[in-house]
Structures are given as C-alpha cells and as structure tokens.
Amino acid sequence: MTENIYDRYLMVNYVKNKFPEALVNGTIINSVTEFSKEYETLKNSVGIRILTENTLLKLTGKDTLDFLHRISTNDLKNLEESKNRNTLFTNEKGRLIDKTTIVRLEDGFLLLGGKGTQSLLSRWIDKYIIIEDIKIIDARKEFRVAELIGPQTESYLTQLCGKCIDELPENTVKNFEMDDLSAMVLKYTEKKGSKKYFMILKNDSAEKVMDYLLNQNNIFDVNLIGENAYNHYRIEKGFAEAPNEINDNFNPYEAGLIDEVNFKKGCYIGQEVIARLDTYDKVQKKLCGVLLNGTVSSEERLTLLDEENKEVGYVTSLSPNSHNTIGLAIVRKTFAEVDKILTVVSGNEKIEVTVKEIPFKK
C-alpha cells in the first residue's frame, strides 16, 4: 500500500498557514495557540482536533464484515450500514494491536484507529487474508477526520446541522449539509461515559469545511486543539491511546479496554488467552493515574519502583503542563491502590509518584 506524502500534510499545511504561531513537528500539530487556552476550550466549550496521525483504512469486498467479525474482539456480524462500533485487534498472545472504530458505509468499511498504527494494522489484517474477497485501501487519500470535544459540542453541532443532531442515535454516522458543504458526522459514547463526535471530511473540501467550523463561533468559543492540550485532557480522563497504552506489551484488561471485548461472540485472534485471564482471574496489572512530584521529560521511559526498588509497573503517558506532572501508568494490581507511594528515577533524581484513580478527581 503506497502512501501519498502530500496527502499526509494536507491539513498540517492548512494549520500552519492559518495559525503561524502553531507548533508543528512533521505531521504532529503539538499546539495551535496557548496550552491554557486550548485546555480551557476542552473543559468548557468546543475543541476541534485534526487527527493527522491516526490510522484510517478502508476495507472493501464481499467478505469484509464476516472477516472483521472473526478476527476482532467485538460482535460485528449485524453491523448495519451507517452504523459504527468499536472493536480491538489483538495478537495470538491476547495483546493489543489497535483499538478501532469501524464505520459501515455503502461501499465499504472505514477503520479509524490509533496514532501511528496505519502500517502495523494494515499489515496485520493483510496477514490473515487468505482467499477472502477483501481489499485494503489507504483511506487518507480520500478522507480526513476531525474530532470535536467539549461540553458544548452537541449544542454547537445542533446550530450547524439542525436538531437532527439531538436525534442522531448513538453509534450512527450521517451525512450533514452545511451551506454548500457536507461532512459525515459520527456519534458514540465511550464506555467511561464521554460522548464523542467525529467529522469525516472529503479531502477536496476539508479546508473549506474547517474554515466553516471555525467561523461559527458567534455563540460558542470554538478553537483548534493541539496534541499537548489534548494529551493532558485525555490523561485526566484516563483514556488509553496508541502507542502509549495500546501496544503489544499490554492486553485489554491492563489497558482498561476490556469493555470492548464481547465474551459471547466466540472466537477471535487472542480469544483463548483473554478468556483464560477472565476465567482464572490472572490479570496482574491495571491502568492507573499517577501524580509525579517533579518534572520529567515525556520522552523518558520511566519504571515504577516500590520501597525496595523492585519494578512494579511503567509510566506510559505524561503531561508536564501542570504544577505536578500527571500521567497514566500500568501498575501491578497489588500496588495499584489509590494514594500508594511509588518512585521513578529520572536522570540522577528519585521522584515520588502517587497512584491516583482515573478519571482524576478535581
């Protein structure tokens, strides 16, 4: 599957041209304005996050639905057109490849996955296609995706698209007209209760749609959001993300994603291992919040240590954009008690770490 490099930079160049102060590293939009402004937008109004790094595959062919149902963790066999459902892909050891939202369109299936997993997920799916009529397409050549986040998002979308947004059923995607523009809007609620909206935009009109969205701010405070502010927000909420918590070091239990596994559907790749973990209560680790009493680089790999300096887990995500650095960690269950004190070593400094429940309490 070849990749059109220009397509990758389509929305990145849009942001750089419209917001010269934006901090961009390759295709990653780290910030658009100030961290504090973007973070307050996520908490109080409407943030728009362009998913420049996330996987977007399209699968076509008459065997696609049955195949996806057989190899992933959720029940997809009755997925209807214009509906979406989350599912996990796990390897033979029951460890995570990716978490995806699968959207059934008239002409195929869109797979919206994690950051940086496009090649990995495509190769992994392709490995199991033997004689099935299935074609894997890089959907970024056709579409771009934006995530709309914040407590005023539904009201904002109602202003744009009409009251049918209120009536849009969960796990449904629908095409909406906005003046002379159109976009597909996808709505679902995470297991942890957060409502999510995605907009799927055609590449040839993506910039115009984005201009339209940002200009509808006469009532709502609407802002583009970079990865720095979003990372802090999703850590506070306790959302696992690739490649930090969603990778082949961890299983769905450890990453807090076991709700995306359907134990009644029968076989899928990794099913036997995950079933044994459930049946015999063999889960050894869990996803926790952590509060670090000090500042460390988000690039460091930090091992959590107990009072005897024995390894008890790993810090998987960090946000140093607060007085105390917050993060997510996958910790051995016996040490995953709220307010348990652990340590990490950063450089020559030993830093105290307090285990917290997620979502973080204010």
Of 254, 282, 310, which residue constitutes the final position of a domain?
282
Of 282, 304, 322, which residue constitutes the final position of a domain?
282
pLDDT tens figures, 214-252: 998 888 999 999 999 999 999 999 999 999 999 999 999
User: Do 311 and 182 fall into the same domain?
Assistant: no
Report the SS3 class of residue 338: coil
User: Do 154 and 302 fall into the same domain?
Assistant: no
pLDDT at res. 192: 64
User: Do 329 and 221 fall into the same domain?
Assistant: no
Measured distance CA(81)–CA(148) in Å, rounded: 23
Backbone angles phi, psi at 68, to 5 degrees: -65, -35
User: Do 66 and 153 fall into the same domain?
Assistant: yes
The average pLDDT across 254-279 equals 95
User: Do 120 and 101 fall into the same domain?
Assistant: yes
- Residue 4 pLDDT more than 60? no
Backbone angles phi, psi at 257, to 5 degrees: -120, 20
Q: Residue 251 CA to chain centroid, in angstroms?
A: 16
pLDDT at res. 106: 95
The average pLDDT across 116-131 equals 97
Q: Percent of the chain having pLDDT more than 90?
A: 80
The average pLDDT across 176-191 equals 85
Of 226, 251, 282, which residue constitutes the final position of a domain?
282
Q: Which residue has the higher pLDDT, 250 or 281?
A: 250
The average pLDDT across 140-163 equals 91
Question: Would you place residue 164 in the very low, low, confident or very high pLDDT band (cuts 50, 70, 90)?
Answer: confident
Least confident window among 101-105, 143-147, 191-195: 191-195
Question: Would you place residue 298 in the very low, low, confident or very high pLDDT band (cuts 50, 70, 90)?
Answer: low
Report how many helices (DSSP H) and strands (DSSP E) the chain contains, helices first: 10, 19
Q: Which residue has the higher pLDDT, 8 or 155?
A: 155
Location of structure tokens 């429940």? 357
Question: Would you place residue 310 in the very low, low, confident or very high pLDDT band (cuts 50, 70, 90)?
Answer: very high
- Residue 318 pLDDT more than 90? yes
CATH number at residue 113: 3.30.1360.120
The average pLDDT across 197-213 equals 95
pLDDT at res. 6: 45
User: Do 356 and 210 fall into the same domain?
Assistant: no
Measured distance CA(268)–CA(68) in Å, rounded: 9
pLDDT at res. 260: 94
- Residue 2 pLDDT more than 50? no
pLDDT at res. 284: 94
Counted domains in the chain: 2
Measured distance CA(311)–CA(314) in Å, rounded: 8
User: Do 260 and 303 fall into the same domain?
Assistant: no
CATH number at residue 323: 2.40.30.110
User: To the nearest whole number, what is the mean pLDDT of the chain?
Assistant: 92
pLDDT at res. 321: 66
What's this model's pTM, rounded to 2 decimal places?
0.94
CB 86 within 8 A of CB 196: no
pLDDT tens figures, 52-63: 999 999 999 999
pLDDT at res. 300: 72
The average pLDDT across 76-93 equals 96
Pairing of strands 46-50, 222-224: parallel
pLDDT tens figures, 5-57: 446 788 999 999 999 999 999 999 999 999 999 999 999 999 999 999 999 99
User: Do 154 and 208 fall into the same domain?
Assistant: yes
pLDDT at res. 3: 46
User: Do 298 and 233 fall into the same domain?
Assistant: no
User: Do 100 and 213 fall into the same domain?
Assistant: yes
User: Do 111 and 133 fall into the same domain?
Assistant: yes
Question: Would you place residue 191 in the very low, low, confident or very high pLDDT band (cuts 50, 70, 90)?
Answer: low
Q: What domain range is 354 assigned to?
A: 284-362
Measured distance CA(161)–CA(159) in Å, rounded: 6
Question: Would you place residue 198 in the very low, low, confident or very high pLDDT band (cuts 50, 70, 90)?
Answer: very high
- Residue 297 pLDDT more than 50? yes
User: Do 184 and 320 fall into the same domain?
Assistant: no
Report the SS3 class of residue 190: coil
* DSSP letters spanning 203-240: GGGHHHHHHHHHH--SSS-EEE--HHHHHHHHHHHT--
Six token digits for residue 178 = 């906005």
The average pLDDT across 244-273 equals 96
* DSSP letters spanning 121-164: HHHHHHHH-SS---EEEEGGGTEEEEEEESTTHHHHHHHHH-TH
Q: Which residue has the higher pLDDT, 320 or 127?
A: 127
Six token digits for residue 64 = 């696609």
Q: Which residues pair with 184 in a beta bridge?
A: 175, 200
Measured distance CA(141)–CA(5) in Å, rounded: 10
pLDDT at res. 24: 96
pLDDT at res. 33: 96
